[in-house]
Amino acid sequence: MEHGSQSGKQNAEPAGKYTMTPAELLDSWLEIDPDPATRRAIEAERHRSEWVQAQFGSVLRFGTAGMRAPAGPGPARMNRVMVRIAARAVGAELIAAGFGSRGAVVGFDARPGSADMAFDAARLLAAMGIPTAIIDGPAPTPLLARQLLARSAGAGLMVTASHNPRDDNGLKVYWADGTQIRPPLDRRIEARMDLSSLPTGRELAARHDVESLDVRSVIAEYVGAAVRRPVFGADGQPVDPNDVPPIVYTALCGVGSQTLSHAFATAGLPPPIYVAHQRHPDGTFPGLPFPNPEEPGTLGDAMALAEDHDVNLVLANDPDADRLAVAVPDRDGAWHRLNGDELGVLLCDWLIGLHDDGRAAQPLVSASSVVSGRMVEALCAARGVAHHRTLTGFKWIMEPRLAHPGARWVFGYEEALGYSVTDAVLDKDGISAAVEFARLAGALAARGIGPLERLDELAAEVGLHVTGAASVRANTAVIAAAMASLRADPPRTIAEYPVTKITDWLGPDAPHLADLVELELAPTSAGSPDYDPETQVRICIRPSGTEPKAKIYLEAVSPNPDDVRAERRRLQALLDAIAGAVSVWFEPA
C-alpha cells in the first residue's frame, strides 16, 4: 500500500475550499439530516454565529486513528450525515482503485448513535454497487479488522471513538491490505468528501441489501484465527502454563467481555472474575471518570474487586477492546498500573521466547512507534530480532509486517497500551494481548516471581529504561503556537538540564514527516558533583492525533545500573522534573 507523511493533527480543516458559507451549509444540512436530535440542535443554535462557525465552518480529517470528534451536527462533528459523506468517499475511492468487487465490511461499538451511523454507511456502500456486510451487534474493533482479512474485503469501516471522552464518536477506515488507511490514501478520500451535494436517505440501499454477520460467528472466527490454543508435549501435559493466577477483568462498559470470555476458554485459561457493573456494553460509561484505562481512577473498581478476592492481577480493555491495561501490586502492596512501555517489554520478551521454537530459520520482525520507549528495541537487538521504529499509530506500526512478508511477525506496540501479538489482525488487539499476558503471568508465577521482578531482570540484561508520559489539554491553536515556538526558538536547557540534540520531524533530515519534535538531554553538566555521562534522556513532543491535547513522552536510560530499584527511583524523579518543565509550554498565555 501507499506511504507518506503523518499529519499528527485531529482538528478539523477549514471548509474554505467549498463554495457555501457556513450558514448556507447549515441550511442544506438541516434539509437532509436524518437524526431528530441533531436537527433540534441546529434549530436551537442557528442564531448564534459562533456556534454555526464552530459546527459548520470546518471539516473533520483523518488523524492518527481515523476521525474522532464530539457528537453533534455539522461537518466538524461526528454524526450520521458526516459518516454518510465519508462512506461515499471511501466507496468512490474503492471503486477507483479497482477494489469495489471485493466488497466492504462495517462494524460499530456501543456508543449512542454508533449503530445508526454504521448502518447508514453500509447501506450507502451497498447502493454504490459494493457488496457490503455489517456485524449485527456491537463488537470489538479487532473483530472488524479480522473480518477484513477473512473476507479479503477491499475496505472496512468501524464506527467507534475507542477510548475518547464519552461524548465523542469516530470512524476508523481500513483498506485492502488489512491496515488502517495511511497518507496519501486518506487525503484522496478526504478530497472526495463532497459537501456541495449532501447524501440523502434516497441514496441508501434497503437494509436487506446489506449482508448481516452474526456477531457470535464473527467472534468464533476471530478467536479461531487470533488466539493460540494450548500446546501439549509428548507427555500429554500442556506446554503453556495453564495454572495462571486469578485475574480480575473489566471491559470498562465496552464491548470486550463476550469476546474475551471465548478467547480465554479457547486458550485453555480459567475465566476471569468480571467487574459486573462494567461487564456489559453501555456507551454512556456510567460511574467511570473517563473511558480510558490510562486515566487515573478508571481501574479503581477493578482494583477494589481484586482486593476483595485477594487477586494480584487486573486486566482491562478499553471500550472497543483494542487496547490492554494491566495492574499488579508493587512491593509495598500498592497497585502499580504498568505503563505502556513496561507492558510492551514484558509481552515482547514473552513472545520472542515463543518464537524460539526450533522451526527452520526464518527472520523475525517487530516494530514500535518512535514515541515509545527503546527498551524493546534493545531487547530485540540482544535476541536477534529485527526491530523497526515507525511513526505514531498502528497504521504505521504494522507497515513492517507488510514490507517483510517472508519474516515471522513477533510483536508490535505503541506506548498508549496498543499491542499486536499476532498477524491474524493487522492492528492493535487488546483481546489476544490479554490472553498472552495471562499466560505470561502464569509462567512467571511458576518461577515464583511477578511482572515487576521480571522487569528488573530485563533491566539487568539490556539496561534500565524508565519512561513516562504527560499530556496537556489545550486549545488546538495554543498547541500549534507552542509547537511553532519550540521549532523557532528551541530551549538550551530544560529543568536546568542541557539540551544536546533536537530532531524536528518536519525538517528536511527527518526519517519521516510528522508533527513531532524529539530532544535529547545531558542529565547533569560536566562540572556537577553527580555528573553521570552514561545516563541518556529523550523527550518526544507532539499534538495528539485523536484529542485536543499535547502529548509529552519521556525516557531515561541507565545502561549498567548497579542497583536497579534505586536507579529506577532516581530516573523517575528526573523525568518528573522534566515533565513539569515541559508541560507549562502548552498553558495559555
CA distance 132 to 542: 37
Q: Provide the 3-class DSSP secondary structure of residue 274.
A: strand
Q: Is the peptide bond before 184 cis (omega within 30 degrees of 0)?
A: yes
The runs of H, that is alpha helices, within 180-297 are 185-191, 215-226, 257-266
Identity at 68, one-letter amino acid code: R
CA distance 85 to 98: 20
Number of other residues whose CB lies within 10 A of the CB of residue 346: 23
Q: Side by side, which strands form the sheet with 168-175?
A: 67-70, 168-175, 155-159, 104-108, 132-135, 211-213
Beta bridge partners of 70: 168
CA–CA distance from 545 to each of 66, 83, 365, 514, 549 (Å)? 9, 19, 26, 11, 9
**Torsions phi, psi for 35 (to 5 deg):** -100, 115
| Contact status, residue 182 vs residue 3, Cβ threshold 8 Å | yes
Grid cell listed for 155 = 475496505
DSSP 110: S
CA distance 138 to 499: 48
Cell 519521516 belongs to: 512
Q: Provide the 3-class DSSP secondary structure of residue 53.
A: helix
Phi-psi region of 108 (alpha: psi -120 to 50; beta: other; left: phi over 0): beta
Q: Provide the 3-class DSSP secondary structure of residue 551.
A: strand
Specify whether 485 is catalytic: no
Grid cell listed for 7 = 499529519
CA distance 124 to 88: 7
CA–CA distance from 474 to each of 66, 446, 589 (Å)? 21, 47, 11
Identity at 376, one-letter amino acid code: V
CA 492 vs. chain centroid, Å, equals 33
| Contact status, residue 541 vs residue 370, Cβ threshold 8 Å | no
Grid cell listed for 339 = 505503563
Q: Identify which of 171, 229, 469 has the alpha carbon closest to the alpha carbon of residue 337.
A: 469
Question: 526-535 long-range CB contacts below 8 Å, 24 or more apart?
Answer: 534/558, 534/559, 534/560, 535/571
Grid cell listed for 50 = 459562533
Identity at 546, one-letter amino acid code: T
Question: Is 217 exposed, middle or buried (CB count within 10 Å of its CB: 0-12, 13-18, 19+)?
Answer: exposed
Grid cell listed for 212 = 448481516
Catalytic residue among 7, 114, 162, 257: 162
Q: Are strands 549-558 and 536-543 parallel, antiparallel or unpaired?
A: antiparallel
Grid cell listed for 414 = 505503541
Mind telling me the catalytic residues? 162
